[in-house]
Amino acid sequence: MAPHSTTDNDGDDVMRDTDEMQVDEKPDAPAVKSEPVAVKDELEHMFDDEDDDLMIDDEVNDFKNGFGKTSAAPISDILSASPSDPEVMLQFYARLFPWRQLFRWLNHAEIPSTDFANREFAFTLHNEAYLRYQCYPTFETLRRDVLKLNPSRFEIGPVYSARPRDRKQVPKGSFKPLEKELVFDIDLTDYDEIRTCCSKTSICIKCWQFVTMAIKVIDVALRDDFGFQHIMWVYSGRRGAHAWVCDRKARKLDDGKRRAIAAYLEVVRGSAQSGKKVNLDRPLHPHIQRSRGILERDFEKNILEDQDPFRTEEQSKRLLQLLPDQQFRGALREKWSSTTERSSSDKWRDIDDVAKTGVAKDLKTRQLLEHKQDIILEYTYPRLDAEVSKHLNHLLKSPFVVHPGTGKVCVPIDPAKAEDFNPDDVPTVLQLLKEIDQWKNPVKGEGDDTAAPVRVPDIDKTSLKPYHDFFGRFVQRLLNAERQAAELKPKVEQGVKIKKEEDMEF
Amino acid sequence: MQGPEALRLARKQRRGNVIGGTIKDSGLPYPTRLNFYDKPPRDEVSLEEFEQWAIDRLRVLGEIETCLFRNNTPAEIDATLKRLLDKYLPLASNHSIPENERSNPKRFAGLTAERRKDHYSHFILRLAFARSEDLRRRFTRVESILFRHRFTTDDTRERHEFMSALQLDAHAVSDSEKAQYADELKAVLAATTRTQPEKARAQFEAESYVKVEWDRVADLVESRRIFIRGGMAYVPSGALVSLVLAEFSNKLDEALIATARLLPRLDEDDRLIPILNHLSKGFSAPEYNSAAAPTTLSGEAITAAQIDSLKAHFPLCMRNLHSALRRDKHLRHFGRLQYGLFLKGLGLSIDEALVFWRQAFSKFTDEQFNKEYRYNIRHSYGLQGAGRNYSPYSCQQILMDHPPGTGDAHGCPYRHFSVDNLMMAMESQMGISGDEKSVLSGVRQDVGAKKYHLACNRVFEHLHERELKREKEAGGGVRETIVHPNEWFDRSWNLKNPGKAKERGRVKEEVKEEDTTMT
């Protein structure tokens, strides 16, 4: 295997002392908190030396950080800071990050299991140190460590055969990755040669359409062809999107099968030297045929109009390269050089118009049609970073993490409404903290004379709330499927408990 | 009757029952030519047989690996295998005996002996090659190719009998379901069999499909040669080979891992262990051994400053990477790996490598370089992270492993460039002008036939025409196909510097000797 920067970066030397070890030895605390008072009593008994952790809950309003120090800093003091300011990040992870849902998502059940405990987390700290092989029995311990280390971001790796921290203790060779979600990474930098509006790290709504098209094509393929149901799309915080396929069967795929899926979905192949990058057998495979149907509708607007990639003489050379028949190309070249600069839409129409004149005797209608189809695909079909998908042990940034460069939260994207998603609308961490700060308790209705004032969770005060809820519903569907698969007949009480909890969450 | 005897009879009966056809109830140990190797052998063999059978099979497997390494086509592999199998591991079909005599065990004895040898030698080599992940992977690969060869060359009816006994756990696709997906299934059928639409229609009507979970035919999914819907793959009868093959290699993978777990118990036996150790050593890939390569050219260490002048001895892929590096002041991940490991194979020390890359990445600050790239370079020398010492990529790896994408300069230009760009590179990189039509048309032909290594070797021979001729006249020069970029460099350097070639040549010979122990 090639040494790959993400997967082989061994951060052992920066491992620090782990006081969680004590916690680890204790019986796992129930993650379900259906009756707060009773459970709290029980928990307090269990963890009487660490009662700070008890306050950890998505719903808890008062902010305390992981090591017991109550944070007194009012949010308004730090609003002028940069989004990657450690204090800003800390506030976000303490008050707004959906720890419990993240736990349920990765644990696949309410009761803590090895699915979560043997899962690798990796932290990038503000000093660029990279800590790999971190793991936690419960979300409380994970949350506490994040608040203590205050990483600039963290990533999620596979579930291993043993706890990642213990990898040196278990017999050599028996520590290996067992499962991880099948993941996909779409990054706009892979489109640099065909996007004209932006380059490098900058993006706009025009080039975001490449990502939108990618989500539409990949999502339907994963669902209809492979039969996956639990696919979560996440904005990567700057210029791309990730997909997490969470179905049990997807999680258990070995590298060979991941490679098969990645290759099945890959259409645009080759480097700058390869010439035409889409070369497909005919008739088209049903997956390509379906994708073509989706993408052809978008080609006119997203590509010809918005990207206008063939306007200049230099640009239209590229288009000519992709077309068949020397005579035909010559005729087009002549037309485009004699008239003043024509738009890409005009040039695209010219192709058929010139073909109809019969200037190229050997040009076959079918041949031209197929080349045009290939060109449309070359300019619209998803460009995946296949290496990310191929390896079970590849790490990927966690959902809801704050992108340190933009301050934007990596929020989920609803694939059914992919076209409505605009990266400019994604809340930044500073904006969210401001929303908490400016939030006022709405005036209570008449006759509302219940004694204590209702505590409103921080998340409910912000525009992050709909994303939270979306994630929560996704996780709940996944857990329901897991439970059905395990053929566990939930007891009546358990059913009630879960119902109650849902009410609390959403 | 009790104990072992009863067991043996029960086993015989079980074997007999699984197989259909005329010899179903014959009680023969090997009623079919093909074997899925799902039952280990039980009978005794002599130590001589044990070793001889294993060595014979190893010759066949070693040759398969050599074929893979030379990037031979399946047809070429089949031709090679046929010759070799007749000599070392023949397996005759039941049809070699008249039908009415097939149930006679005596008439069958010859076939049984062949099949017994095939069966035993397979299991002996399992013991030898279960010990490491690398050996297991290679063993499964070559055994699968051997199985495919035998499967596809098997008599149709016997193959059918063999398959019906396998119980593949596939569901037949109903007519209504077939009609529901008619368009999709027809499209895939026409594309994979390359038939005209009219013909494909008739073919489709006659075709019967089975449904299996898509990952059981992952290779067909990977190349989009199959229709999948809702996680199920719709396998036409012609593609069942794929299913059987996948089943074969999956089972073998699992069995090898199980064998590996049991190996420690075998350690008590001091007669078998030396033989097995010897066998697994013999199964070494004909890989270019960079560790044995000298760190000097004619006595001097290679320095970063010399790389530009050594470029004249590089194959096209490396010249292309070098030019890209000089042009962009940067190479992407796999480009750095392919080129960096090649330079390492030349004998560039880690210190010189760091100097070379630091100077080459001139658009980056020291801080950026140290942060982003230093680690990777040290990693590839085994000085960081897992501490693995990586070998330079072979042509096989460059051709197969990581096809270049946008912005990449790695890969094999013969394979990954369009023909027009390749022709341009011939002139700009290799100095072969458009007038030299015979070479260029040869290259075009090779590339068209997907024989990329031949195109590369053709260019080598052209560039070293005079030297090769001189070498031949002097009585030397074994003409072998170059299958590794570093081999290109060594051959080129030696040919152009005949006086200084001795040192390098000597080390190469040692490497060769090691390789030949397997054949």
Binding site annotation covers B317?
Answer: yes
% of chain B residues with pLDDT over 90: 33
pLDDT of residue B72: 75
Helix (H, G, I), strand (E, B) or coil at A428: strand
| Model confidence band, residue B27 (pLDDT cutoffs 50, 70, 90) | low
Q: So what's the pLDDT on residue A173?
A: 76
Q: Is B456 annotated as a binding residue?
A: yes
Across the range A368-387, mean pLDDT stands at 95
Interface contact B91, partner A, CB < 8 A: no
Mean pLDDT in residue range A372-393: 94
Catalytic residue (choose from A53, A58, A120, A155)? A120
Q: Quick one: which of A266, A197, A235, A273 has its CA closest to A427? A: A235
Question: Which of A5, A193, A257 has its CB closest to that of B376?
Answer: A5
Q: Is B52's Cβ below 8 Å from some Cβ in A?
A: no
Option in B186, B191, B403 nearest A269 (CB) = B403
* SS3 state of residue B147: helix
B313 or B105: which leads in pLDDT: B313
Q: Which residue of B has its CA nearest to A254?
A: B215
| Region A182-267+383-397: CATH code | 3.90.920.10
The pLDDT assigned to A132 comes to: 93
Q: Stretch A438-467: mean pLDDT, rounded?
A: 77
**Does B378 lie at the interface with A, CB-CB under 8 angstroms?**
no
Is A79 within 8 Å of A437 (Cβ atoms)?
yes
User: For chain A, what is the mean pLDDT?
Assistant: 82
Is the separation of the CB atoms in A147 and A90 below 8 Å? yes
Q: Which tens digits make up the pLDDT trace of B480-518?
A: 778 889 989 988 888 888 766 444 443 443 333 333 333
**B419 Cα to chain A: minimum distance (Å):** 8
- For residue B377, pLDDT over 60 is answered with yes
CA distances (Å), origin A463, targets A60, A96, A399, A430, A466: 18, 11, 16, 12, 7
pLDDT exceeds cutoff 80 at B23: no
Q: Mean pLDDT lowest for which of A77-86, A458-467, B222-231, B284-293?
A: B284-293
B175 reaches A (C-beta below 8 A): no
Confidence band for A46, pLDDT divided at 50, 70 and 90: very low
Mutation for A interface: B199, B222, B369, most A CBs within 10 A: B222
Which entry of A53, A58, A140, A185 is annotated as an active-site residue? Answer: A185
pLDDT at B324 over 90: yes
pLDDT at residue number B495: 86
Residue B12 has pLDDT above 70, yes or no: no
Q: Burial of A484 by CB count in 10 Å (0-12 exposed, 13-18 middle, 19+ buried)?
A: exposed
Tens-place pLDDT, residues B454-475: 899 999 999 998 888 888 887 7
A9:B421 CB<8 A: no
Distance of CA A127 to the CA centre of its chain: 24
Numbered ranges of CATH 3.90.920.10 in chain A: 182-267+383-397
pLDDT in tens, B336-357: 999 999 999 888 889 999 999 9
Band of pLDDT at residue A372, cut at 50, 70 and 90: very high
Q: Is residue B391 less than 8 Å (CB to CB) from chain A?
A: no
Q: Which amino acid is at A183?
A: V
Contacts B320 to A, Cβ<8 Å:
273
A187 is catalytic: yes
Residues of B in contact with A193 (CB under 8 A): 406-407
- Tokens 């027809």 correspond to B186
Identify the pLDDT of residue B282.
62
pLDDT at B269: 66
Q: Which residue of chain A comes nearest to B190, CA vs CA?
A: A283
pLDDT digits (tens, 9 = 90+) for B392-406: 898 888 888 888 887
pLDDT in tens, A462-497: 999 999 999 999 999 999 999 998 865 544 444 444
Residue among A271, A383, A389 with most chain B CBs within 10 A, to mutate: A271
The answer to whether the Cβ–Cβ distance between B218 and A224 falls below 8 Å is no
By Cβ distance, the residue of A224, A226, A285 closest to B187 is A285
CA–CA separation, B117 and B122 (whole Å): 8
Question: Is the per-residue pLDDT at A202 higher than 70?
Answer: yes
A8, A257, A261 ranked by CB distance to B379: nearest: A8
Report which of A111, A122, A192 is spatially closest to residue A151, judged by C-alpha positions. A122
Q: Which of A20, A50, A58, A187 is catalytic?
A: A187
The residue that leads in pLDDT, B255 or A453, is: B255
- CB-nearest to A283 from B191, B221, B384 is B191
Is B232 within 8 Å of chain A by CB? yes
**Segment holding B235, helix H or strand E:** strand B232-236
- A335: pLDDT strictly greater than 80: yes
B238-263 pLDDT, tens digit per residue, is: 888 888 988 899 899 999 999 988 88
Q: Which residue of A has its CA nearest to B134?
A: A1
CA nearest to B373 within chain A: A5
In angstroms, the CA B202 to CA B212 distance is 24
**Beta-carbon separation of A274 and B421 below 8 A:** yes
Which DSSP symbol is given to B382? T
Beta strand pairing status for A396-397 and A153-160? antiparallel
Residue A389, phi-psi category: left (phi > 0), alpha (psi -120 to 50), beta (remainder): alpha
Residues of chain B found within 8 Å of residue A9, distances taken between Cβ atoms? 375, 385
Q: Which residue of B has its CA nearest to A187?
A: B406
Give the mean pLDDT of A235-254: 96
B452/chain A closest Cα distance in angstroms: 15
Contacts of B385 in chain A (CB under 8 A): 3, 8-10
Tell whether B101 is within 8 A of chain A (Cβ): no
Binding site annotation covers B67? no
Q: Which residue of B has its CA nearest to A269?
A: B405
Angle at A154 between CA A152 and CA A156, to 5 degrees: 170
Taking 50 as the threshold, does the pLDDT of residue B372 lie above it? yes
| Residue, of B476 and B473, whose pLDDT is higher | B473
Asked if A9 and B403 come within 8 Å (Cβ–Cβ), the reply is: no
Catalytic residue status for A224: no
The shortest CB-CB distance from A259 to any of B183, B184, B222 is to B222
- State the nearest Cα–Cα gap between A207 and chain B, in angstroms: 17
Catalytic residue status for A120: yes
pLDDT at A123: 96
Q: Please report which confidence band the pLDDT of residue B25 belongs to, taking 50, 70 and 90 as the band edges.
A: very low
Answer yes or no: pTM beyond 0.80. Answer: no
Q: How many CB pairs under 8 A join A and B?
A: 126
The pLDDT-based confidence of A72 (bands split at 50, 70, 90) is very low
HEC string of A185-225 equals EEEHHHHCCCCCCCCCCCCCHHHHHHHHHHHHHHHHHHHHH
pLDDT (average), residues B45-57: 89
* Nearest chain B residue (CA) to A261: B222
Q: Is the pLDDT of residue A65 over 60?
A: no
Chain B contact set for A383 (CB, 8 A): 405-406
**Residue ranges of B 424-463 with Cβ closer than 8 A to chain A:** 425
> Which has the higher per-residue pLDDT, A242 or A69?
A242
CB atoms A269 and B384 under 8 Å: no
Predicted confidence (pLDDT) at residue B128 exceeds the cutoff of 50:
yes
Strands (E) across B68-186 are located at 171-172
Residue B229 sits at φ, ψ, to 5 deg, of: -150, 130
The whole-angstrom separation of Cα A128 and Cα A404 is 12
pLDDT over 90, % of chain A: 62
On chain B, the residues whose CB falls within 8 A of the CB of A132 are: none
Show residues of chain A in contact with B230, CB under 8 Å.
Answer: 224-225, 227
Which domains are seen in chain B, by residue range? Answer: 4-164+247-282 (1.20.930.80), 171-241 (no CATH), 296-516 (no CATH)
Using the predicted structure, report yes or no on whether residue A146 has a pLDDT greater than 60.
yes
Q: What is the DSSP string of B187-208?
A: HHHHHHHT--HHHHHHHHHH--
Q: Do B403 and A270 touch (CB under 8 A)?
A: yes
CB B130 within 8 A of CB B46: no
Beta partners for B234? Answer: B211, B227
pLDDT digits (tens, 9 = 90+) for B176-229: 999 999 999 999 999 988 888 778 888 899 888 999 999 999 989 999 999 999
